[in-house]
Structure 1
């Protein structure tokens, strides 16, 4: 019986070690004032929503994992932009512009599709994983009225919780 527990523990440690190897994060951009948010979930990101107001600042984010939507970071106000990802598609880059608030954001998938929101003015940023097999796992940051900062967290997602062989 102890051998089964030991094998399970070693398997979990090996999986955690592989995930750590692929993990990286992109430091926050923006002024960073206001309330913190972190949009996380289980499995692969399957859709992203962005609310922009008057085409000049980003007011809110929402991320879907499988069929479950995260809470909204910021506010659901203004125009909604949304991208639904295909089964073999994931987000591998986030870019945009910021000043006091996040002015614009572009989510780019491994298939070359993009979700664009906001007005491109301010300082530029470009976020991507350090490992070529990694993908966007979750986003975090702060909001005060609109989104004041954004940080990306990258890693690998195993379909059906199976490890790479």
Structure 2
């Protein structure tokens, strides 16, 4: 299941100081169709992604929680198994995600950062995917997907790195 949705960053983004030359895009959903839908896109305005927590099992990922600026999102999925964390350095961003899913559940996620660091969660099995932004300068801004007892599916929202808010001009 691979879908791409490309949206052009509109002029309103200039009010937030974002680079208009970077196109917002979505890659995913990767995984199954069961579970409850979730979206963390409302956290994008808080700040850039600064950390990720993932709960893992022997063969599956159970839950995900992301820090935007200094605010943690809700936990999507379940907090059982082993919790593993990754923390980004100042001005470090996630620029690529690789992963795998089997049947109806996500089995692994690998985050690659702008500093060349790699964070691996879970064990690769099943179908694999590579999630990239449409534009070279885009970074991971938010995640969405389907979750319940497990992390059933995940998608990635890419866009310009969020900069300090600037007042809008009329």
Which TM class, normalised by the smaller chain length? 0.7 to 0.9
Within a 5 Å distance, the mapping from 1:73-152 to structure 2 comes to 73-99=76-102, 100-152=104-156
Which structure 1 segments of 5+ residues have no match?
1-11
Are the aligned partners of 1:82 and 1:115 in contact in 2 as well (CA < 8 Å)?
Answer: no
- Change over 3 Å in CA distance of 1:160–1:52 after alignment to 2: same
Which structure 2 segments of 5+ residues have no match?
1-10
**Whole-angstrom distance in 1 between the partners of 2:89 and 2:128:** 28
- Change over 3 Å in CA distance of 1:20–1:30 after alignment to 2: farther
TM-score, normalising length: structure 2: 0.81
**Whole-angstrom distance in 2 between the partners of 1:102 and 1:75:** 13
**Whole-angstrom distance in 2 between the partners of 1:21 and 1:110:** 16
Name the structure 2 match of 1:158. Answer: 162
CA offsets 1:1-55 (integer angstroms, 9 cap, x no match):
xxxxxxxxxxx6362795585201102111121101112312111111111012x
TM-score, normalising length: structure 1: 0.84
What is the CA-CA distance between 1:161 and the residue it aligns to? 2.3
**Secondary structure in 2 matching 1:86:** coil
* Count of residue correspondences: 151
User: RMSD across aligned C-alpha pairs, in angstroms?
Assistant: 2.1
Name the structure 1 match of 2:30. Answer: 29
**Secondary structure in 1 matching 2:164:** helix
Are the aligned partners of 2:22 and 2:160 in contact in 1 as well (CA < 8 Å)?
Answer: no
Within a 5 Å distance, the mapping from 1:16-95 to structure 2 comes to 19=20, 21-40=22-41, 41=43, 42-54=46-58, 56-95=59-98
